[in-house]
């Protein structure tokens, strides 16, 4: 597993603390919870820009829905007992529920209750964005205790013409070519899916904004999942298609389990290549998914005609870990400072790999004489040359056509071991950049 | 294994009955037995066209041989016992035997006798088309009982300038592009190799002729093996090269054992792709042969300069099943109505797969909103999206470049599951054909 | 393993005898030992041409070093005992040692002594070409017996402006296209690495020079390793780049262990293809190395911008067998007449494979009628066609595009089985060369 720098350890702590702060906010795909979350991220990187897209706006094939606001949601039982209360846990209320104030029998109530038989202590996360419904979610163990009688369902909520919020950030680099990092911000009170994504994204942006130089420009987008990425594409598609050379959807990046990779649709973009390379050299047990396993904004970013080179880097993939989309996905047992720090370090490796991925041409014919440049041991005996093998391998592949990432694959070493050697060879005049 | 429609079950019965009717006819690569067989097939599909190619005609590198006619062939033993008689089984006479009327000792007779030591009860199938010889074939068990004495070999046969018969059929479609189905008609009194091939071919032609519309034109050729396909190519090569997009040699398609596939020489033609796809999704145990294992008319169809996209689809491959080229290859123990019906259904899948193999482009950018089109479940919770995965996968690949067959491979579902979805998406305006 | 012709067996004996004759000569990367060796090889093939490159000349990125001459080298112990003596074994003196005449304590002497703890009876082979040092090499067992006291190190040697010697040879063929064979000549008193290489090279050249006709021209280079190949490229690069279609670095070709193959950098050159093909059909256990495992002149021949198609063919690869670079690498236990003969026969297969690797086009459409050309059995029965399968397979692939080597791979037979069939088909007019 990855070795952590002090910077990464500190970032892990900071990300975890920020996630804990954001935890209680009742996020959804629109509304004040989403806005409050984005505003808090702006404290970390002030150049973050928050945008609003009015309800009814076109978002490619979709339409931005009405905004949702909720003041109160409570389900009480025959004896006045509180069965489910938004004030206790945001997940108790089905997302985007419409207003209701009714008294119902248990039978009438049943279609409005959601629980998971196999996870009796978990409150499930359920939403209904595009059909007006209402519902309460509760642990199955609790549900089993419900007795016959009159239940009161009270939801004070409004759907109204408002707007959808998202945030983005562009860190200019030497080139207009962009590396694009997207994450989503619409899940209430869950940790891996999703607070881990936006907190990692904002801390990566912070680190990148403080670098003395950047080869690439970096674009970050923090959007409500699905509809937010569609709205973002609606406004920025031409720019993204022109500039983005590699992109990553960050999701479920806060636990300590094995890393996961899900390819772009094209499967062989620069984003896929660098992600696979870094994962290969970081986590022998990383799990490789297929495009068929996708389930987040890459569906839009990689759709035909959009065709952005966006791969997904995760720890436990959404849908694959037991706590996914339940109240068990928390900041104590699932997402940890260490898990966040490791993902942060991994993304640094990916970003620096891209920054270092130049194409070099060796300036001399034949194997260069390293000895007179102080790069070769002076006495030749069995085994003594082992230490310069990587340098010679690098030189042997630097034909002005293969990029450093390809050469790293050929040499079977991580690109971060080759990058300083390239610098040295540039200094010696043995390398030139193509 | 494949599920059979009532139509396929009925076709299986009809094919088996037709094969039983054709069984006693003494077919060879020329002659009245071949003509009678083709004429009987014409009853099933009246548009079948029977052609004659005169002896001595050029057939690419070959020459159409003299026609063969036989009235009587009998081998009698020292005591007048009938050892082998054409009237009892066509296989008793070596195919294309010349006339003889001689009395021989057992030693003199030996070079003219053919039997199989390992299959003592089988009459082997032996021919000598291009060198004038005569011979009798008999079970090895019988051969072992022969005692010293005078044997009389009597064959009343003629080789004379006549013609070689074949039949073909063209079912026009919306396009001049053709799907080509070839099978052969020259083996007497054997069931899998070969009656299964022509009876399946003619019933496929019947089914296709009754379809309300055909995207492709369909060409069927029923020829004596080898020399017949050469004669057919001699006359139709330019048309075939211009029009055929996929072709199949049907052989040994009547038993119930695992399916077999033998590639075209190019190995990656449309015929190979659809055959492999359908077999993959129909029979987990299908056997994949190599071009090196070929042994039928594909040698001509795929020869350099001919280069037709012809793959072979079989059940037990010729040469690989124990009854092959013996009297054991019968309509009771080897070829069954069920085996024929399954091959019929498989070929329907192949044909319909080709008919459906359009290239589609999704008309919207990003993932379409299926919900407002009634294509998506309204409530999002764990697992509820499983039912629309295939639809979304299909949409995600429909880039206007990949054909449906490629997309089916990507989605890991059979093309016959995708075809109705494509129709629906066309209706919704989400798909357009390229 | 390969069957040896009488010619190969005799060549094995001759090569081994020659190697024994060359054994005592004190070769290095320059000097009279190298010259004497090349001069002796000239006895075998008189057209060998010996060239001298002055010290200080440019050799691509390198400079030809001063020449080295040594008269005497002796290390004596406190009691006058001779510890190491050049006159006893060339390996006792570190290659390119500078002159010294000093008395030293055992502690002062230690940095100048070389031995191998794991191989206590072996004298290691150590050199220091590009930094002036001196040293003695001795068995570790001997070293452990050294006691405190005064040691005298006496080396009478000179480094002086002289020249570097190499030899080459061009056997013209029908084409200016060349097959290039390189081996190296700079190791004193070791057998597999290296006397096996130059003796095999010169006997291959002898055999080739006596062939009645050659399709390709053949170039042999016998150079001191590394600096010699650089000097050779300095002078001949343009010619080599223009003419060489396949090249082989011969090294460690005299033992009887499994064959080894190390690819060119491009990995798919004609040299790689023929070497892999011949090895595949000769030694089921041959070992396949990667470019990363390289360690000889292929580093220069395949360097970016040089890009020659040079693969390496070996028995035990340098660096991988226990006796490598020690006094144990001898002509008794490691290199044998049989081992040399087998490598000679293997290289003949490679060379003849290249000579035979034409591209053919079949002149008729469809499968040719072999029968009327006497190429087919006259009676068709089960199995009788097995003997003509290879001929039919060859015909089926001869499309005027695939070369014979590719067809041999497709047919899964060695190219030396196809070559005589091609001759026969040319005679029959069924084949034409493209």
DSSP A192: I
B233 inside 8 A of chain C by CB:
yes
Query: What's residue C376's pLDDT?
Result: 79
The average confidence (pLDDT) of chain B is 96
DSSP string across C125-150: --B-SSS----EE--HHHHHT--SSE
What lies within 8 Å, CB to CB, of B268 at 6+ separation is: none
B365 inside 8 A of chain A by CB:
yes
Interface probe with B: pick from C365, C384, C418, most Cβ of B within 10 Å: C365
* Cβ pair C366:B131 closer than 8 A: no
Classify each residue of B12-46 as buried b or exposed e, where b means 16 or more C-beta atoms within 10 Å of its C-beta: bebbbebbbebeebbbbbbbbbbbebbebbbebbe
C-alpha C250/C-alpha C296 separation (Å) is: 10
C-alpha A255/C-alpha C63 separation (Å) is: 57
C-alpha B240/C-alpha C14 separation (Å) is: 62
Residue of C nearest to A367 (CA): C300
The average confidence (pLDDT) of chain A is 96
Q: Which residues of B touch C371 (CB under 8 A)?
A: 130-131
Lowest mean pLDDT among A377-391, B25-39, B158-172, C100-114: A377-391
A374 inside 8 A of chain C by CB:
no
C-alpha A327/C-alpha A18 separation (Å) is: 19
- At B73-88, the pLDDT tens digits run 999 999 999 999 999 9
- pLDDT range class, residue A378, cuts 50, 70, 90: low
Nearest to A132 by CA among A93, A98, A92: A98
B182 inside 8 A of chain C by CB:
no
- pLDDT range class, residue A290, cuts 50, 70, 90: very high
> Burial level of A110, CB count in 10 A (0-12/13-18/19+)?
exposed
Interface probe with A: pick from B360, B365, B372, B411, most Cβ of A within 10 Å: B365
| End-to-end Cα, chain A, rounded Å | 34
- At A136-168, the pLDDT tens digits run 999 999 999 999 999 999 999 999 999 999 999
Query: What's residue B384's pLDDT?
Result: 45
Q: Which of A382, A400, A411 sits opposite C325 (nearest CB)?
A: A382
The average confidence (pLDDT) of chain C is 96
Structure token digits, residue B187: 């083996």
Query: What's residue B386's pLDDT?
Result: 54
Distances (CA, A) of C403 to C268, C274, C312, C349: 14, 11, 22, 17
Ramachandran angles phi, psi of B404, nearest 5°: -65, -30
Angle (deg, nearest 10), helices B270-282 and B337-356: 130
Place of tokens 């088909």: C425
Classify each residue of A145-155 as buried b or exposed e, where b means 16 or more C-beta atoms within 10 Å of its C-beta: ebeeeebbbeb
What lies within 8 Å, CB to CB, of A412 at 6+ separation is: C292
Q: Which residues of C touch A371 (CB under 8 A)?
A: 130-131
Query: What's residue A380's pLDDT?
Result: 54
Low-confidence stretches of chain C (pLDDT < 50) are: 381-384
Q: Which residues of B touch A237 (CB under 8 A)?
A: 365
Q: Which chains touch A (3 or more CB pairs under 8 A)?
A: B, C
Place of tokens 């997402």: A335
Query: What's residue A19's pLDDT?
Result: 98
C-alpha C200/C-alpha C351 separation (Å) is: 13
Structure token digits, residue B393: 């996968």
Q: Which residues of A touch C307 (CB under 8 A)?
A: 399
Is a pLDDT exceeding 90 seen at residue A2?
Answer: no
Nearest to C341 by CA among C4, C23, C18: C4
Distance from CA of A399 to the nearest CA of C (A): 5
Is a pLDDT exceeding 90 seen at residue A374?
Answer: no
Q: Which of C127, C135, C299 sits opposite A396 (nearest CB)?
A: C299
Q: What angle do CA A136, A137, A140 make, to 5 degrees?
A: 130
Q: Which residues of A touch C62 (CB under 8 A)?
A: 366, 369
* Cβ pair A369:C131 closer than 8 A: no
Q: Which residues of B touch C400 (CB under 8 A)?
A: 304
- pLDDT range class, residue B40, cuts 50, 70, 90: very high
- CA C249 to chain centroid: 5
Residue of B nearest to A266 (CA): B397
Provide the chain C residues 389-408 that lie in CB contact (below 8 A) with chain B.
389, 392-393, 395-400
Residue of A nearest to C326 (CA): A382
B367 inside 8 A of chain A by CB:
yes
Q: Which residues of A touch C187 (CB under 8 A)?
A: none
Query: What's residue A53's pLDDT?
Result: 98
* Cβ pair B371:A292 closer than 8 A: no
- At A263-282, the pLDDT tens digits run 999 999 999 999 999 999 99
C57 inside 8 A of chain A by CB:
no
> Is residue C5 helix, strand or coil?
coil
- Determine the average pLDDT of the residues in A288-300: 97
């Amino acid at each position: 597993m990855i070795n952590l720098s002090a910077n990464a350890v500190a970032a892990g702590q900071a990300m975890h603390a920020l996630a804990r702060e954001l935890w209680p906010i009742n996020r959804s795909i629109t509304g004040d919870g989403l806005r409050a979350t984005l505003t808090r991220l702006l404290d970390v990187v002030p150049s973050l820009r928050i945008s609003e897209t009015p309800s009814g706006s076109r978002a490619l094939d979709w339409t931005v829905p009405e905004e949702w606001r909720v003041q109160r949601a409570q389900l009480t039982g025959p004896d006045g007992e509180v069965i489910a209360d938004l004030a206790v846990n945001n997940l108790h209320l089905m997302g985007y529920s419409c207003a209701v104030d009714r008294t119902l029998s248990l039978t009438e109530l049943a279609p409005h209750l959601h629980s998971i038989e196999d996870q009796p202590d978990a409150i499930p996360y359920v939403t209904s964005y595009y059909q007006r419904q209402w519902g309460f979610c509760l642990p199955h163990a609790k549900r089993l205790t419900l007795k016959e009688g009159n239940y009161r369902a009270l939801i004070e909520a409004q759907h109204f013409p408002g707007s959808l919020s998202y945030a983005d950030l562009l860190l200019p680099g030497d080139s207009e070519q962009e590396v694009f990092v997207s994450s989503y911000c619409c899940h209430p009170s869950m940790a891996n899916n999703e607070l881990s994504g936006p907190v990692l994204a904002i801390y990566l942006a912070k680190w990148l904004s403080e670098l003395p130089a950047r080869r690439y420009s970096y674009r970050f987008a923090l959007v409500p999942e699905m509809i937010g990425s569609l709205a973002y594409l609606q406004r920025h598609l031409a720019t993204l298609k022109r500039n983005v050379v590699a992109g990553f959807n960050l999701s479920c990046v806060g636990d300590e389990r094995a890393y996961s990779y899900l390819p772009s649709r094209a499967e062989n973009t620069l984003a896929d290549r660098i992600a696979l390379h870094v994962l290969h050299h970081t986590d022998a047990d990383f799990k490789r998914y297929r495009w068929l396993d996708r389930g987040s904004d890459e569906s839009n970013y990689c759709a035909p005609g959009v065709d952005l080179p966006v791969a997904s880097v995760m720890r436990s993939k959404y849908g694959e870990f037991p706590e996914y989309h339940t109240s068990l996905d928390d900041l104590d047992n699932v997402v940890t400072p260490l898990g966040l720090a490791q993902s942060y370090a991994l993304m640094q490796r990916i970003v620096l790999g891209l920054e270092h991925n130049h194409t070099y041409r060796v300036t001399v014919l034949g194997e260069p004489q390293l000895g007179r440049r102080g790069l070769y041991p002076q006495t030749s005996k069995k085994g003594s040359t082992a230490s310069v093998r990587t340098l010679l391998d690098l030189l042997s592949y630097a034909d002005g056509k293969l990029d450093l990432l390809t050469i790293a694959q050929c040499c079977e070493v991580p690109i971060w071991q080759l990058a300083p050697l390239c610098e040295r060879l540039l200094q010696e005049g043995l390398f030139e950049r193509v």
